[in-house]
Amino acid sequence: MPDRTTVSLVGSTGSIGTQAIDVIEAEPDRYEVTALGAARSVQLLARQAHRLRPARVALADPSGAAELARLVPPGTEVLAGDGALEAISVDADVVLNAVVGFAGLPVTLAALRAGRRLALANKESLIAGGPVVQAARATPGAEIVPVDSEHCAVHQCLRCILDESGIGSLPNSPLSPLRRVVLTASGGPFRGRSRAELAEVTVADALAHPTWSMGPKITIDSSTLMNKGLEVIEAHELFGVGYDDIDVVVHPQSVVHSMVETSDGATIAQLSMPDMRLPIGYALAYPGRLSTPFGAIEWSGLSRLEFEQPDREAFPCLDLAYRAGRDGGSAPACLNGANEVAVDAFLQGRIRWVDIPDVIAEALDVHVPTAPGTVADVLDADRSGRDLALAAVGRR
C-alpha cells in the first residue's frame, strides 16, 4: 500500500470533525488519522479513538484527562490542558482545524508555523488573527485550504483563472483576471422578514436553519448574517481581495456555493448539494480530488436556483463586518469577540435576537483599532471586544 496521508483532526467531536471522520472512513487506503483532539467531549473522543486508532489524543480541558486515559485503547498517548491541541497540530501532513470560535487561533498558528497544510474550518482564527496568521502563512510548506463551503468554492473557481501560487495573493492591478468574488448566503431561517417582525424571535427559531445542519454558534451567526460578514473578512484574508471587490448575494437553495467574476465578464461558480463532506474532502485531497462523491447534484430533483439581494436593514451584522474589515488592524478581532459574547448572551436568554447587532455596534464604536503584531495583541483586541460587548449586554 502506498504511504497514506496523515491527518490530525483537531475539534474531532463537533459537526465538522465528525463529518471529516465520515470522509476518511470512505477512503481508508488514502488517509491515516494520527491524532484526534477535542475541547471537552471525553466519551465521544474515546469512541473515536477506538474506531480510528490514532497514536495521540488531546483534550483542551484538563479535568477530563484521567477519564480519557482510562477509556482510550492501550498505548494511546493522552495530552491534556494548555498546549495539548497545538501539540497535535504540528506533525501530520494535513491538520484540520475544526475548533469552534476564537479558541482555534493557537491551532491555526501551530500548524502554519510547522509548515503544514491547514484545512481550515475555523474562520475566526483567520478573521481575528489576520496579520499574525498572514506572517505564519509565509512559513515554507505552510498553506491554507479553506473548508468553509463558500471559500472552498472560491478556491476551486480561482484555480480556473490563476495558477496555484496566485490563489493567496491576487495581483492588485488592472491586469488582474479577477473582477470580483461573489459569496452566496442561504439567508438563514429569517430571510424575508422585516426588522420589526424579527423583534420577538426565539432561540429555537434561530437554531432552525433551512439548508445546513451545523453547530449552534454558526447557526445563530447564519441567522443574523454575521456568518456571511465574517466570511467577507475571511475571503479578504484568504485571497487578498479588496472589500470593494467582494459581494454577497442571497441564494436560498445553497447549491451555488460561491462565484468569481473575471475581468472579461464571465462568472465561474461551484455547485453541489449542501454537504460539508465535499469541502472537507477537498481540503484533505488537495491538490487532488476524493474518489467519493459527496453532494453530487441529482438534476432531476433540482428545479430552480434563486438569487436576491441581502436585506441590510433587517440584518445589520453584514455591514458591521464590512466596516470592521475596512477599519482593519484589530477591528475584526474586536468584532469577532463581541459577536461571540452577543451570541452567547442570546443563547442564554439575556438579550433579544435584534440586540445582537446593537451590542456589536456599541463595542466597535468604542474600540480604537490598533495594528496587532503579536498573538498577545490579538488576544488584547479580542478581550476588548468581549469586555465592551459584555458591558453592552449589561445595559440591556
Of 124, 148, 275, 344, the residue at the interface with Mg ion (CB under 5 A) is 148
Print the SS3 string covering the chain. CCCCEEEEEECCCCHHHHHHHHHHHHCCCCEEEEEEEECCCHHHHHHHHHHHCCCEEEECCHHHHHHHHHHCCCCCEEEECCCHHHHCCCCCCEEEECCCHHHHHHHHHHHHHCCCEEEECCHHHHHHHHHHHHHHHCCCCCEEEECCHHHHHHHHHHCCCCCHHHCCCCCCCCCCCEEEEEEEECCCCCCCCCCHHHCCCCHHHHHCCCCCCCCHHHHHHHHHCHHHHHHHHHHHHHHCCCHHHEEEEECCCCCEEEEEEECCCCEEEEECCCCCHHHHHHHHHCCCCCCCCCCCCCHHHCCCCCCECCCCCCCCHHHHHHHHHHHCCCHHHHHHHHHHHHHHHHHCCCCCCCHHHHHHHHHHHHCCCCCCCCHHHHHHHHHHHHHHHHHHHHCC
Residue placing its CB nearer to Mg ion in the complex, 124 or 148: 148
Q: Does 124 bind Mg ion (CB under 5 A)?
A: no
Residue placing its CB nearer to Mg ion in the complex, 149 or 253: 149
Determine the interface stretch with Mg ion among 148-156, 277-285, 300-308, 366-374 (rule: CB under 5 A): 148-156
Minimal distance, residue 142 CB to Mg ion, in Å: 22
Residue placing its CB nearer to Mg ion in the complex, 48 or 149: 149
Q: Does 245 bind Mg ion (CB under 5 A)?
A: no
* Residues in 63-102 that interact with Mg ion by CB under 5 A: none
144/130 Cα distance (integer angstroms): 13
* Angle, vertex CA 330, rays to CA 142 and CA 100, nearest 5: 60
Q: In the complex, which residue's CB is closest to Mg ion?
A: 148
Determine the interface stretch with Mg ion among 140-148, 245-253, 359-367, 386-394 (rule: CB under 5 A): 140-148
Please say whether the dihedral angle defined by the alpha carbons of residues 121, 124, 129 and 131, taken in this order, is positive or negative. Answer: positive
Determine the interface stretch with Mg ion among 81-89, 150-158, 174-182, 334-342 (rule: CB under 5 A): 150-158
Residue placing its CB nearer to Mg ion in the complex, 149 or 339: 149
Residue placing its CB nearer to Mg ion in the complex, 45 or 145: 145
Residue placing its CB nearer to Mg ion in the complex, 13 or 122: 122
Minimal distance, residue 228 CB to Mg ion, in Å: 8
Minimal distance, residue 233 CB to Mg ion, in Å: 12
Minimal distance, residue 310 CB to Mg ion, in Å: 15
Minimal distance, residue 149 CB to Mg ion, in Å: 5
Count of residues that bind Mg ion according to CB under 5 A: 3
Q: Does 382 bind Mg ion (CB under 5 A)?
A: no
The answer to whether residues 282 and 300 touch, using CB atoms and an 8 Å cutoff, is: no
Minimal distance, residue 212 CB to Mg ion, in Å: 8
Residue placing its CB nearer to Mg ion in the complex, 148 or 311: 148
Residue placing its CB nearer to Mg ion in the complex, 150 or 237: 150
For 286, other C-beta atoms within 10 Å of its C-beta total 20
Determine the interface stretch with Mg ion among 71-79, 112-120, 145-153, 345-353 (rule: CB under 5 A): 145-153
Minimal distance, residue 150 CB to Mg ion, in Å: 5
Minimal distance, residue 354 CB to Mg ion, in Å: 23
Name the residues that contact Mg ion, by CB under 5 A. 148-150
